[in-house]
Structure 1
Amino acid sequence: MDTHHQKDKQKDNNHDEKNWLEWLVFGISLLMLLAIFGYLGYQVKTYNPSDPEVMVEARHDPSAESPNRYQVTVMNKGGTTAEEVIAEFTLFSNGKEKETSELQIAFAPKDSKREGWVIFSVQPTASDSVVARVKSFKKP
């Protein structure tokens, strides 16, 4: 009976041995985990928080239904998200303000671009320039 028990125990030990494929998968998984933790550690060490730097651009982008439409690009080059961005656009003619329009964007994450459109009632050709500026934003 004792020899029978030793043979069963020997069979169990043979099944516990890992083959080369299992070791290869284990090694690759371990290397991937170490690489991910190393990358995350590097990101934490080199992270430099900074305030949002929000900029805005506007270009005339007429359509058949909206000939007075401008395409707006809001960019955040800063290190954190800007919330509730309000951009203001003013049409000027001969140095005098003709019309003002606003665009609000809920979130502008860091290093992002958001697009929108503003529509004026005055013909853009009747104005000299469009001045675009960021009126306000919050830091969440």
Structure 2
Amino acid sequence: MSDATPSSDASSDASGDEDSGKTQRTNWLEWSVFALGVLITAGVVGYLGYQMIWGSDEPAELKVTLQEPKTVGETVFIPLEVENMGDRVAEEAVIEVCAGEEACSMVTFTFIPKGSARTGTVGLDGPLAETPDSRVVSYRTL
């Protein structure tokens, strides 16, 4: 009967990656990627924290500005600009432009982001009885 037991020295040599007494050096590229990841994460967390504590959340505030009317045939076209001065998005904004009781027209803006402006044009049957005036009929905020 032969007892063939493997020696403990042979089995530890086969693994190769166990503690060999040498430490592996981290190169500059790994440190750079790590530092960049930490900076990006800290920046995002800092920005979100700032917005949560000091950021404002005012509703959309729409300001309508009418431009000079232009007559083409019997129709008067009135260019307008709608500016969202609030902190939230305005969606499905309906603007009405009237020049007297009988001459009214509406235009709808699908999406007006915060701090931006959109332009459009309404057409009224001419000649106009009064100076055109505008009002915001409705809008939704996100």
TM bin, normalised by shorter chain, reads: 0.7 to 0.9
SS of structure 1 residue aligned to 2:33: helix
Structure 1 vs Structure 2 CA RMSD: 3.4
Percent identity of equivalent pairs = 27
Gaps of 5+ in 1: none
C-alpha distance in structure 2 between counterparts of 1:67 and 1:104, whole Å? 19
Whether 2:99 is the aligned partner of 1:111: answer no
Which residue pairs with 1:136 in the alignment?
138
* Count of aligned pairs between the two proteins: 134
Equivalent residue for 2:125? 121
Give matches, 1:1-140, under 5 Å: 2=9, 5=13, 8-9=16-17, 16-60=24-68, 62=70, 68-92=76-100, 97=101, 99-123=103-127, 129-140=131-142
Larger mean Cα displacement after TM superposition, 128-137 or 51-60? 128-137
- TM-score normalized by structure 2? 0.71
Deviation at 1:59, TM superposition (A): 0.8
On the 8 A contact 2:75/2:126 being kept in 1, the answer is no
TM-score, normalised to structure 1's length? 0.72
User: Which stretch shows the higher mean deviation, 33-42 or 10-19?
Assistant: 10-19
Q: Provide structure 2 residue ranges, at least 5 long, that are not aligned to the other structure.
A: 1-6
More helix by share: 1
Q: 1: distance between equivalents of 2:51 and 2:61?
A: 21
**Distance of aligned partners of 1:101 and 1:27 in 2 relative to their CA distance in 1, 3 Å threshold:** same
